[in-house]
Structure 1
Amino acid sequence: MTFSACGTGPVLGPSVAEIVDSHASGSGSPVKTAMRVADAIEARGDDGTWISVVPRDRLLAAAREIEARPGARALPLYGVPFGVKDSIDVAGVPTTLACPDFAYTAEETAPAVARLLAAGALYVGKTSLDQFATGLNGTRTPYPIPRSVYGDNMISGGSSSGSALAVALGQVPFCVATDTAGSGRVPAALNGVVGFKPSRGVISTVGLVPACKSLDCITVMAGCIEDVDRTFDVLAGLDDNDSWSRSRGPSYGGTPIRIGLPDATDLEFFGDESMAAAHFAIRKKILRSAATTVAVGLGPFLDAGALLYQGPWVAERLVEFADFLAAQPDSIHPVVRDILRSGEKYTAVDAFRAQQRLQELRAEVGRGWRDMDVLVLPTIGTTFTVDEVLARPIECNTVLGHYTHFGNLLDLVGVAVPMGLTADGRPVSVMVLGPALSDDTVLQVAAQLLDEPRSHSDELAHEPLSQSTYTLEEQL
């Protein structure tokens, strides 16, 4: 596979902290920020990042309303602009799931989005996605196919394609996205931003049109861990209307963190030597650091991941979309339609058999957490161009989800961390995983990997794992 870099990579705008400080000090204002955002989106045109945006006059009016709120300058997200994946409801705005014939206008705002608005955040618009949130590549859409910021032909990843792009283009500092099989991590990896998938249930999924309701998570795309921290603090909270809701786990206590590293023979890069070289260079830095590392076998993780699309969980998508599939099959993207129909073959026996097998794998993985606190592995093993995905839509998508499919099935928390470039100019990302409710510990390790200061001691400070360009020579 060859790749010719045409893009510049992410060009992040001001962070959440910078925007809030600017607004609170008076050196900036929500209205000025809204104007900058509107200008940036208009300058790009219809590039596949957004499905709908708030018109300029209404965006400025919303910014003025935020400025006029009593005590506005003390709000944690005072005037901070953000985008919402177009599978999540915002009152008065169409929710399309990238399927115009399925679209409806939401009557209520999803609680997660409502929490952001109450904290002073400025809603900008709905971001693109693979139709019905079914895909990890960003090409399954009737709208313009978005491209990665690293090159005109590289896929953006999906299904939260537009959410990652809006952050990577510097249009907004964070976006609300989702993750069922890796949708909040794969596009982050392909656009050089942070993609945080919290523990299931910690952020309410009420108002999200489900892909697989038992697995879905609302996630955050951002440019840095601090921005994730600030938005997660607002988003997390119990919701009595969400049957999967649960309280957030404990804060990281400052104790040494044991980092699991997969056996090198378990890692698959699908013939991409440049990506392999970059990842193993990162592993070397971790091994040379002060962190305690533990060798881990990936077998049970990968076996669990195989159940997602090679087992009855694909049938769970029919809970939401079976009636529409029967009534208007031609309105559905052909690849998505075939995936939905593939769920019709599974029986109740198949579902119980798969659940029993998954429980065995959960128990095996659970025993592994006795010896490690987090697991670090690649977010993706390789990249693809749009043409490659269009030619082999299922095969390429399976490759993209190799390291992410098992995350929600095994009830894990994960964050995709940008770690520089391959020798040929493509993005490198590692994923930090932890057991359910270890969100703060996982974010702590992610911050350490980025050499980003956080409130706790930096275990990896002996050799910061900052972003750089890795070459094959560094591995050898």
Structure 2
Amino acid sequence: MISLSSSDSVSTDVAALETALDAAPASIWITRRSAKEIQADAESVRARVAAGAALPLAGLTFAVKDNIDVAGLPTTAAHPAFARVPAKSATVVTRLLDAGAILVGKTNMDQFATGLVGTRSPYGVVTSALDPERVSGGSSSGSGAAVGHDLVDVSLGTDTAGSGRVPAAFNGILGVKPTLGLLPLDGVLPASPSYDTVSVFTRTTGLAARVMSVVAGPSTTDPKSRPWALDAPQAAPPRPVIAVPRRADLASLSPAVLAAFDETIARFEALGAETRTIDISPFLATARLLYGGGLVSERAWSYGAFLAAHPEEADPSVAAIAARAAKIDGTTVIDAQQAVAAAMLLARQALDGTDALIIPTAPIHPTVAEVAADPLGVNSIVGTFTNFVNLMDMAAVAVPTGEVSGEGHFGVSIVTPTFHDQVALDLAARLLGESEQDAALGTPGVDVAVFGAHLSGEPLNPQLQALCARFVGEVRTSDRFRMLLVEGSVDRPAVIRATEGAELPGELWRLSPLALSTLLRSIAAPLALGEIELSDGSSVLGFTASVDLTERDVTAFGGWRAYRAASVVPANA
């Protein structure tokens, strides 16, 4: 990757980027910006930073799938006759640009975002960055390959049936498919508007979190956009319970791919996860409704009339799907919608008590020749484990796990309930050996300072973990606090403001607003939550107390852990 913020010479950076772009397959792009345009943007970003602008993505390069509007560049959706030049960029693009990211170009895709293979485009077949004989995966084929070839730091795709996940598996990168509505869809050409979302491709969970923190959030011009829920978890639990499909539900996997999946589950177990086998056959049956039932009618609404009027340069598979979709009657659509609603209830019951479902992203990684021989059949197999996720309003992160000898590249998807995106990203970070601290999505939360029994490793810390709280970092109070001992079944410190005191060490944990209310209900007198002044002058919510000053003063020990280490009193556990 060539980020344009790290070098002293913008011209050198842009020249290196242009060299890399020229060496990569041209089919990745539909519209590529010139080196001069990219350099001008890089200079502008540097000037903004020099002027004091806070740009969280300064100098990072990005690409955009060509069904997402960029002002001044054509949007084709991989059909030349559809090309139009919008005056306004999609909200997600504007947010990236405002954050200092630099656009390289617009990527190739399966026509009208219909397909999971990356071969349905008159602009050329997009192949895997890891194996030119095999497909990149669609419909966000070019966006996946652009990151896979290290041409950009991040790319935007879209995902309805798996298009933000399959290219991740086939290109050895990370694919984030957020909860529906978190990333606004204004300026994004619909494919199936009830189930579309913008997706994000990167190489690391940390960068994915930075990008998601910038682009997520409601838009005044997208009626379906929505904010984070007040109960959105701040972190994955340290010992998660993960659901795993029955062997019967994995029948589409070859023995070698099944072995690779088993190895991945074993890695999760080695990281402390508990596994639970569940029946996902209702999920798989629901997945078939997207193209095999009434829900496919949304494709006719989105682009069916255009394809009927412009059959030239239409991909045969996409045209056939649109023509069939146009013949579906309203009652068939409602039948499918009701089936999805029933399946969502079954899904909640099946996943009750678990934190995530781990599934193969795709059962096969087909060659270009295999797709050409059976375009509809192969595409359907690729979507076996992806199609149900948006239908059931779930979130997912696709994680690459490596090559299966002779069968292409493989990956798993970590699927979580609505608004549990942070849990999926944390588990992805664990699997990849990356920092969970860097993977924070910036979901709405309240920071709470703890100084005693709620510290990491202390008896009440599991309360915070059960509330999916996120460790933020170590803190110290100002020197105007004292620590008194409150004895009980679990000894706790009372941190109180005083005229003379000491800096007391503690930790900062972030909770969702709903989790905070739960924590408040669990706090027993004399402890309470109140304002705590920290050593850096800031103030946060933290554990304090209402005491009568007859309690033992343990301030001199220099903190709760120091007191516990020095005390002859046995530790409460």
**TM-score range relative to shorter protein:** 0.7 to 0.9
SS in 2 for 1:329: coil
Where in structure 2 are the equivalents of 1:44-63 lying within 5 Å? Answer: 44=24, 46=26, 48-63=27-42
> CA 1:254 to 1:282, structure 2 compared with 1: closer, same or farther past 3 Å?
closer
Which of 274, 286, 297 lines up with 2:256 in the alignment? Answer: 274
1-structure distance, mates of 2:10, 2:361: 35
Alignment correspondent of 2:409: 427
Cα 1:323/1:53, change in 2 over 3 Å = same
Q: SS at the partner of 2:277?
A: strand
Change (3 A) 1:322 1:400: same
Counterpart Cα distance in 2 of 1:412 and 1:30: 41
- Is 1:265 the equivalent of 2:248? yes
Q: Is 2:333 aligned against 1:351?
A: yes
Question: Does the 8 Å CA contact 1:31/1:64 hold for their aligned counterparts?
Answer: no
Per-residue CA distance 1:100-132 (angstroms, 9 max, x = gap)? 011111111000000000000001100110011
Structure 2 letter corresponding to 1:439: D
Distance 1:254 1:378 in 2: 20
Shift of 1:45: 5.1
Contact 1:239/1:245 (<8 A) preserved: yes
Aligned CA distance change for structure 1 residues 261 and 254 (closer, same or farther; 3 Å): closer
Aligned residue identity for 1:223: R
> Which residue number in structure 1 is paired with residue 377 of structure 2?
395
Q: CA deviation at 1:356?
A: 1.1
* Residues 419, 340 of structure 1: alpha-carbon distance in 2 compared, 3 angstrom cutoff: same
SS across alignment from 1:95: coil
Distance 1:248 1:395 in 2: 38
> Offset of 1:146 from its aligned partner?
1.3
**How much has 1:278 moved relative to structure 2?**
1.2
Residue identity matched to 1:208? V
Equivalent position of 2:294 in the other structure? 312
Aligned partner (choices 218, 221, 225) of residue 238 of structure 1:
218
CA–CA distance in structure 2, aligned partners of residues 149 and 430 of structure 1: 18
Which stretch shows the higher mean deviation, 316-325 or 192-201? 316-325
Q: Matched residue of 1:158: which SS? A: coil
Bigger drift between 261-270 and 74-83 goes to 261-270
Residue 144 (structure 2) aligned to one of 149, 164, 170: 164
Q: Decide whether the 8 Å contact of 1:269 with 1:275 is kept in 2.
A: no
Measured in 1, the distance between the counterparts of 2:398 and 2:236 equals 22
> Which residue number corresponds to residue 362 of structure 1?
344
**2:236–2:424: 8 Å Cα contact kept in structure 1?**
no
Asked if the contact 2:267/2:431 (under 8 Å) is kept, the reply is no
Q: Report the alpha carbon displacement of residue 72 of structure 1 after superposing the two structures with TM.
A: 5.7
Residue identity in the other structure for 2:247: A
Runs of 5+ in structure 2 lacking a partner?
Answer: 441-455, 457-464, 466-573
Corresponding pairs, count: 436
2:484 aligned partner: none
Q: Which moved more, 1:276-285 or 1:372-381?
A: 276-285
Q: Go from structure 1 to structure 2 and tell me whether the alpha carbon gap of 1:35 and 1:289 turns closer, same or farther (over 3 Å shift).
A: same
SS at match of 1:331: coil
CA contact (8 A) 2:236 2:422 kept: no
SS at match of 1:178: strand
- For 2:147 and 2:389, locate their aligned partners in 1 and report how far apart those are by CA, in whole Å: 23
Q: Is the 8 A contact 1:29 1:79 kept in 2?
A: no
- Pick one of 354, 364, 371 that aligns with 2:353: 371
Supply the AA of the counterpart residue of 1:300. P
How many Å separate the matches in 1 of 2:136 and 2:288?
23
State how far apart, in whole Å, the 2-side matches of 1:28 and 1:236 are. Answer: 31
2:114: which partner in 1?
134
Amino acid at match of 1:99: H
Q: Bigger CA drift: 140-149 or 418-427?
A: 418-427
Distance 2:378 2:150 in 1: 28
For the 8 Å contact 1:93–1:105, the answer to whether it is kept is: yes
> Residue in 1 aligned with 2:45?
66
* Offset, 1:168: 0.8
Q: Deviations over 1:437-472 (max 9, x none)?
A: 001111011111111111289x9xxxxxxxxxxxxx
2:366–2:408 Cα contact (<8 Å) kept: no
- 3-state DSSP class of the match of 2:416? strand
SS of 2:244's partner is: strand
Q: Deviations over 1:145-184 (max 9, x none)?
A: 1111222210111000010111011111110110000001
1:100 paired with 2:80, answer yes
Counterpart in 2 of 1:118? 98
Aligned to 2:451: none
CA 223–72 in structure 1, closer or farther in 2 if over 3 Å, else same: farther
Question: Per the alignment, do residues 184 and 30 of structure 1 end up closer, same or farther by CA in structure 2, a change over 3 Å counting?
Answer: farther
Cα distance, 1:97–1:151 mapped onto 2, change above 3 Å: same
Q: CA deviation at 1:241?
A: 1.7
- The residue identity in structure 2 corresponding to 1:41 is L
Amino acid of the structure 2 residue aligned with 1:412: M
Name the CA shift for 1:386/1:425 in 2 (closer, same or farther; >3 Å). Answer: closer
Partner of 2:368: 386
Q: Percent identity?
A: 37
Larger Rg: 2
Once the 2 structures are TM-superposed, how far is the Cα of residue 411 of structure 1 from its aligned partner?
Answer: 0.3
The letter for the 1-side match of 2:414 is V
* Other-structure match for 1:412: 394
Q: 1:311 to 1:252 in 2, by over 3 A?
A: same
Aligned AA (1:276): L
Equivalent position SS for 1:330: coil
Letter aligned with residue 118 of structure 2 = G
How many Å apart are 1:52 and its aligned residue? 0.9
Residue in 1 aligned with 2:427? Answer: 445
Which residue number corresponds to residue 507 of structure 2?
Answer: none
1:30 deviates by 5.2
> Could you say which structure has the greater relative contact order, defined with CA pairs below 8 angstroms and 6 or more residues apart?
1
Moved more, 168-177 or 149-158: 149-158
Tell me the C-alpha RMSD between the 2 structures.
1.9
Higher share in helix: 1
- Rounded Cα–Cα distance in structure 1 between residues aligned with 2:314 and 2:326: 16
Specify the code of the residue in structure 2 equivalent to 1:379. T
AA in 2 matched with 1:322? G
**2:188 matched to which residue of 1?**
208
SS in 1 for 2:312: helix
Contact 2:134 2:408 in 1 (8 A): no
Give the SS at the match of 1:432.
strand
Amino acid at match of 1:397: N
Secondary structure of the structure 2 residue equivalent to 1:220: strand
Distance 2:118 2:70 in 1: 22
Secondary structure of 1:442's aligned partner: helix
* 1:188-212 CA distance string (max 9 Å, x none): 1111000110000000010000000
Cα drift, residue 32 of structure 1: 4.1
- Structure 1 distance, partners of 2:324, 2:407, is 37
Counterpart contact for 2:240–2:272, Cα < 8 Å: no
Does the 8 Å contact 1:109/1:207 carry over to 2?
A: yes
**Partners of 2:67 and 2:277 in 1: how far apart?**
39
